[in-house]
């Protein structure tokens, strides 16, 4: 899905269903993740298509702030998803530059330190009944040079602040 630009999404849905069937037997739930750099699953709509067309009751989507932006999805698309369709949401932020098409994973920053519409994202998730897990996902090489525990604590604090700010507004 990352390098193939003509992936048959119906076939992907069928393969995803097979993964869900296996996952049900062993106690895990595979998720269809939005990958902004993918040639075929870079947009929220593509991942929603695969999940919906799988026809499986446990189908779910894993959105990611950076990947939705990088892939060109409009964050308003989250309003169309029932919160139960999302078990995990990757939280991060991105800077104003470089341009969207030039960004890579290393440009991710702590929530609230970039320009992502986090207030809107968190309010929309709450309004849709999202009761899953927020997972901070950063690949910023500057953070790699810092103490891992300090980075984790800072990330947790900034994520909590961003969610609280959004839900207070």
Note down pLDDT in tens along the chain; length 169 residues: 677 778 999 999 999 999 999 999 999 999 999 999 998 899 999 999 999 999 999 999 999 999 999 999 999 999 999 999 999 999 999 999 999 999 999 999 999 999 999 999 999 999 999 999 999 999 999 999 999 999 999 999 999 999 999 999 7
Whole-angstrom distance, CA of residue 134 vs CA of residue 95: 20
What is residue 139's DSSP assignment? -
Closest CA to 90 of 115, 118, 114: 118
The DSSP H or E segment spanning 134 is strand 133-136
Q: What is the pTM of this model?
A: 0.93
Whole-angstrom distance, CA of residue 124 vs CA of residue 83: 9
């Amino acid at each position: 899905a990352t390098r193939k630009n003509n992936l048959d999404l119906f076939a992907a849905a069928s393969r995803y269903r097979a993964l869900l069937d296996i996952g049900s037997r062993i106690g895990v739930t595979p998720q269809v993740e939005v990958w902004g750099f993918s040639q075929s699953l870079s947009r929220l709509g593509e991942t929603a298509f695969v999940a919906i067309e799988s026809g499986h009751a446990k189908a779910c989507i894993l959105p990611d702030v950076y990947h939705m932006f990088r892939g060109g999805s409009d964050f308003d698309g989250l309003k169309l998803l029932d919160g139960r369709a999302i078990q995990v949401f990757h939280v991060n932020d991105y800077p104003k530059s470089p341009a969207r098409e030039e960004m890579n994973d290393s440009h991710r920053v702590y929530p609230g330190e970039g320009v992502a519409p986090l207030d809107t994202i968190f309010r929309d998730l709450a309004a849709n009944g999202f009761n899953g897990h927020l997972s901070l996902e950063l690949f910023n090489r500057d953070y790699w040079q810092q103490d891992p525990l300090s980075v984790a604590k800072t990330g947790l604090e900034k994520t909590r602040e961003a969610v609280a700010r959004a839900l207070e507004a």
